[in-house]
Structure 1
Amino acid sequence: MDWRSVEFDWNRARAFLVTAEEGSLSAAARALNMAQPTLGRQVSTLEAELGVTLFERVGRGLQLTEAGTRLLDHARRMGDAAGALSLAARGQSTAVEGHVAITASEIYSTWLLPRILPRLRAEAPGITIEVVASNAIRDLKRREADIAIRNARPDQPDLIARLVAEDRGTFFATPAYLDRLGHIAALDDLARADFIGFDDTPNYIDALRRYGVPVSEANFPVIASTHPAHWQMARAGLGIGVGPCGLGDSDPDLRRVLPDGPFFDYPVWLVAHRELRTNPRVRLVWDVLADALPALLAEG
């Protein structure tokens, strides 16, 4: 075979791989920070090029066909190889300049990182910082980000992680909403409150019940698909929101619903690929984040 005649687009293979791993086009589009129609076209084009059907629709999600299942391992190996190539190339750089992508949750990306970036710009003006605001777990092996700020320790052996801080969240609402709600002295009183939900509200309800908060779907008349939107809805007086104590306590428009909790504690980890630990620009950004995050979380 003349391999020069074979045309292959890695972007289409990556679209197939991430869609298979996420289970739907919408979730894959969010993971890749791509428009869903564009992602769908890439998958369809790959199917046409290969002459196979890779997915079949099941309910609101996608399920791999037999052909798709057979090709998935090949796509994963391609993804690992592409990631290793990119990591190796980036590791050769010795200049403290270039591009560094940081992925963090939506709330940390809008609350904490904007307060750290001026320091990074002052210390390394040659570095271009990309903030990937996402609650999805970004794949550092495939170079979707260089550094991740996560609230759980990763279990992949080729990643390095450092616990840099502990954070705590609780319920917040506007004083006007709490006045309308009436006296709240205990968790049982929250059964008559309106809460602002997320797009995974059933899981949120289950979590709240485990903390002893007596809520049902009837307590969630408003739902937000992002945490920043959730927070702004709480600030608008639409109900009770949840967020970091440092963020809420520093907001003049909000106050804690119950001074004594419940509190939601979670660690803050810095994560990167082992092959990037000697890259000067990534190391500099890592060190600044490790130094700045504990202080910012402590002061709120």
Structure 2
Amino acid sequence: MNWETVSFDWNQARAFLATAEEGSLSAAARALNVTQPTLSRQVSALETELNIVLFERGTRNMLLTEAGLELLDHVRAMFEAASRMSLSASGQSQSIKGSVKLSTTNTLATYHLPAIIEVIREQAPEIEITITTSNLVRDLTRREADISIRHGRPTQPELIAKLIRETTARFYASTEFLDRIGRPRSPDDLKDAVFLGFENLEQLIAAYGEYGVHLTRKNFPINSASGTAINEMVRRGLGIGTLLQEDAALFPELELVLPDLEPIPVPIWIVTHRELHTSRRIRLVFDLLTEHLANI
């Protein structure tokens, strides 16, 4: 279909754009200060006018269809052009406001994100930020988050991923723990040591093996999906943990185990959904996160 030849109501277009950017009818209705039934009728009327389906129904969130994604760029361009005209006439800058949902690991959220959120709040105080902690990327594909910060690159074609930088992870333990068991001098000295494990333990053991540290499940009596929980247990002398160098540097009571052992590279990726990347508020947060996470 040639979208440029289609004529439709501006209120319907605005309802469609808000629903696409907010991800649900209820959030879009709040953003536009209208009732949800009114907004739903406007979106349905636009679909009838165009004779296409713009959103997939039956899910908690409003997911754009292929036709909806195609239309989104045109509608957004229309409103941005109208906004530029208005700004030019009034001489006022456009405010950036609305909701942005972030998903990241709990260590990044706890140790490093607060300082960046402070910068975002200073530059765009009308943006509402919601932070969830998760090790999965499905929150993006399900539209449960707008931006995700991860240590692995996603493969889904609908996602945009940018490598911020690579950091490293190494073995750390508390001084008290090493005073108790002795300081290992070689990987063989670790064969009976207590380690703290993450999710996918078999994968973790295999990864350690590639670095010459050969362990079994018996080395991991304690496991957790929470990075902050692991870090705290390492600090309390419960075992050896694999920590990011930036996290370990926060705790002077921790010592590097086997300093000569090659560090494990850990990438930091920032990810968003491809059509959300053109939202002004999401782009602002995306860019600020990218800038400041590069320097932690």
| SS of corresponding position for 1:295 | coil
Aligned partners of 1:294 and 1:199: how far apart in 2? Answer: 26
- Counterpart mapping for 1:251-262 below 5 A: 251-262=251-262
Aligned partners of 1:205 and 1:153: how far apart in 2? Answer: 21
Aligned partners of 1:241 and 1:77: how far apart in 2? Answer: 45
Aligned partners of 2:100 and 2:278: how far apart in 1? Answer: 14
Counting aligned pairs with the same residue, the percent is 38
**Equivalent in the alignment of 2:186:** 186
Q: Cα gap change, 1:161/1:213 in structure 2, threshold over 3 Å: closer, same or farther?
A: same
Q: Cα gap change, 1:156/1:77 in structure 2, threshold over 3 Å: closer, same or farther?
A: farther
**2:98/2:127 contact within 8 Å kept:** yes
Aligned partners of 1:213 and 1:106: how far apart in 2? Answer: 27
| SS of corresponding position for 2:137 | coil
**Equivalent in the alignment of 1:82:** 62
| SS of corresponding position for 1:166 | strand
Q: Cα gap change, 1:161/1:237 in structure 2, threshold over 3 Å: closer, same or farther?
A: same
| SS of corresponding position for 2:275 | helix
| SS of corresponding position for 1:237 | coil
**Equivalent in the alignment of 1:172:** 172
RMSD: 2.7
Aligned partners of 1:98 and 1:243: how far apart in 2? Answer: 35
Larger radius of gyration: 2
**2:183/2:257 contact within 8 Å kept:** no
Aligned partners of 1:124 and 1:136: how far apart in 2? Answer: 28
Aligned partners of 2:246 and 2:59: how far apart in 1? Answer: 39
Larger CA deviation: 243-252 vs 259-268? 259-268
Q: Cα gap change, 1:82/1:259 in structure 2, threshold over 3 Å: closer, same or farther?
A: same
Paired AA for residue 202 in structure 2: P
Give the deviation of 1:78 after TM superposition.
5.2
Larger CA deviation: 243-252 vs 138-147? 138-147
Aligned partners of 1:225 and 1:80: how far apart in 2? Answer: 26
**1:102/1:146 contact within 8 Å kept:** yes
**1:138/1:148 contact within 8 Å kept:** no
**Equivalent in the alignment of 1:282:** 282
| SS of corresponding position for 2:64 | helix
- Counterpart mapping for 1:1-300 below 5 A: 82-84=62-64, 95-296=95-296
Give the deviation of 1:77 after TM superposition.
8.2
Paired AA for residue 252 in structure 2: P
State the aligned residue count.
Answer: 221
| SS of corresponding position for 1:230 | helix
- Give the alignment's TM-score, normalised by structure 2: 0.68
**1:187/1:212 contact within 8 Å kept:** yes
* Structure 1 unaligned regions, length at least 5: 1-75
Aligned partners of 1:164 and 1:171: how far apart in 2? Answer: 23
| SS of corresponding position for 1:129 | strand
Give the deviation of 1:142 after TM superposition.
2.6
Aligned partners of 1:154 and 1:225: how far apart in 2? Answer: 19
- Give the alignment's TM-score, normalised by structure 1: 0.67
Give the deviation of 1:192 after TM superposition.
2.2
Aligned partners of 2:275 and 2:110: how far apart in 1? Answer: 28
**Equivalent in the alignment of 1:47:** none
Paired AA for residue 268 in structure 1: I
Larger CA deviation: 285-294 vs 183-192? 183-192
Give the deviation of 1:251 after TM superposition.
1.3
